[in-house]
Structure 1
Amino acid sequence: MQNKIIAAIFDLDGVLTRTAAQHAKAWKQLFDAYNEQRKEEGEQPFEDFSIEIDYPKYIDGIPRYDGIRNFLQSRNIKLPEGYESDEPNELTIRGLGNRKNEFFLKVIEEEGVEVFEKNIDQIKKWKAEGVKTAVISSSKNCKKILEVTGIEELFETRIDGVVSKERNIKGKPSPDIFLAAAKELGVDPEESMIVEDAIAGVEAGSAGGFGLVVGIVNGASKEELLKNGADLAVQDLTDVKLN
């Protein structure tokens, strides 16, 4: 029998905001530019980055530099780690990661940020019923996105890429970011729901022993989400009944 759910922890990109597609676009721009650079410098080009295949498999929901490592490893490419202060044009893991962030900020500046209205409305209802709420994200741009969309006040705590770096919290598929959010809310994982759209996210929720792991069908399919740890997979949060 499922424990009573008294808290809900939400991923940002692809659950609250429509930024997952914008992240994917920025990753595509990054790796296409890097591939062109390799060609110009006489190096062997690699198989083009695919938003449909590579983004959910190697990058979605995962900290930025880990995503770089994952994708390059899939193409048998090794680059030096570099430093966080590396310029975006430097051919290091950190340099490419910083270039990706520039692409992403440009995309959201041009396109703006939209929220998933049905999900936001449902969270407001749960919050009014006394459910505790937290937002998590691997992104270091999380606070900015929350402010831009005006939904920052919906959440009692935020564990994002900035906080994770400060506290040395492991990224997904480790459950640590969700466990940190539950601890901040003062609740046990068994009485908490997590909501994710990424495969790495539902894997993390399952590994953390959370009472309910909900997958939002977005980048990953319903079958993939259920296979990797989601208790249920839905189009939006209006299909989720608590308790």
Structure 2
Amino acid sequence: MKGIIFDFNGTMFMDSDLHEAAWLYLIQNYSNKEMTKEDILKNIHGKTNDVILRHFISQDLSEEEIQKLSDEKEAYYRDSVLASSAHKEFTKGLLEVLDYLKREKIPMTIASASPKINMDFYFDYLNLGKWFDYKKMVYHTGSFPGKPAPDIFLIAAEKIGVDPQNCLVIEDSYSGLQAAHNAQIGTIVAIDPEGKNRAVFAAEGLAPDGIIEDFSTFIPDYL
């Protein structure tokens, strides 16, 4: 492993519950569809907002309608983060990992399905600039297909100057792990803090290099 690519939501920052609540709020307001556990696994986490909105609300949404709904959902989510006393820090053990990677000068970046406005929020909220080059981060712009397509990880690998087969990707989502496989990433690790998706990830071979609960033993196990 010569470089590392982090997913963000549900990986570096345990906020999956807040995203699910924000999507539930939006879907209940604009659709008659229900959000099932399988939807949360396969049609919410890791997907871009336009894909989620077209799946749950309407395939006929205009770009303007998608932007308006996306902005509403993300504003609701960010307000929830700021209001929550349980969402103030990185995932357990990650701070030590980031300090180690910086100290050892191991190339690293973030590849997230989140829009730019959220990544700007995280840079301020969690001081990400201490470890990451903003220009090397990859987020959803609409200029390339989202996960499970490989593009986001191929772009991230190129930005840190490491071949995909020499990268380690750490992901929490079903779609994100599929994207890592499709990008032919050399080392693929899943993070599943509550064990909700471990059986699915294992059964489908999505995390060939391990499934972790947090970053407590990440340095000796992978670095």
TM-score by length of 1: 0.79
Give the root-mean-square deviation of aligned CA atoms. Answer: 2.1
Measure, in 2, the Cα distance between the counterparts of 1:212 and 1:233: 12
Residue 75 of structure 1: aligned partner: none
Residue 94 of structure 2: aligned partner: 119
Amino acid at match of 2:120: K
- 1:6 partnered with 2:13: no
Helix, strand or coil: the match of 2:157? helix
Q: Post-superposition, which runs of at least 4 consecutive aligned residues in structure 1 deviate over 4 A?
A: none
For 1:52-201, list aligned pairs within 5 A.
52-72=37-57, 78-84=58-64, 86=65, 93-111=66-84, 113-140=88-115, 141-156=118-133, 157-161=136-140, 164-165=141-142, 168-201=143-176
Helix, strand or coil: the match of 2:9? coil
Q: 1:228 and 1:67, CA in 2 relative to 1: closer, same or farther beyond 3 A?
A: farther
Measure, in 2, the Cα distance between the counterparts of 1:205 and 1:99: 29
Residue 208 of structure 1: aligned partner: 183
**Alpha-carbon shift at residue 113 of structure 1 (Å):** 4.0
Number of aligned residues: 212
Q: Which moved more, 1:63-72 or 1:207-216?
A: 63-72
Pick aligned residue for 1:217 from 188, 192, 203: 192
Pick aligned residue for 2:30 from 34, 45, 48: 34
Helix, strand or coil: the match of 2:148? coil
Measure, in 2, the Cα distance between the counterparts of 1:186 and 1:160: 17
Q: State the Cα deviation string for residues 115-173 of structure 1 (Å, max 9, x = none).
A: 21312322322332232110111111112112211123212321112xx33xx122100
Verify the 8 A CA contact 2:164 2:185 in the aligned structure 1: yes
Q: Percent identity?
A: 23
Verify the 8 A CA contact 2:193 2:212 in the aligned structure 1: no
Measure, in 2, the Cα distance between the counterparts of 1:180 and 1:186: 10
Q: Structure 2 unaligned segments of length 5 or more: list them.
A: none
Residue 42 of structure 1: aligned partner: none
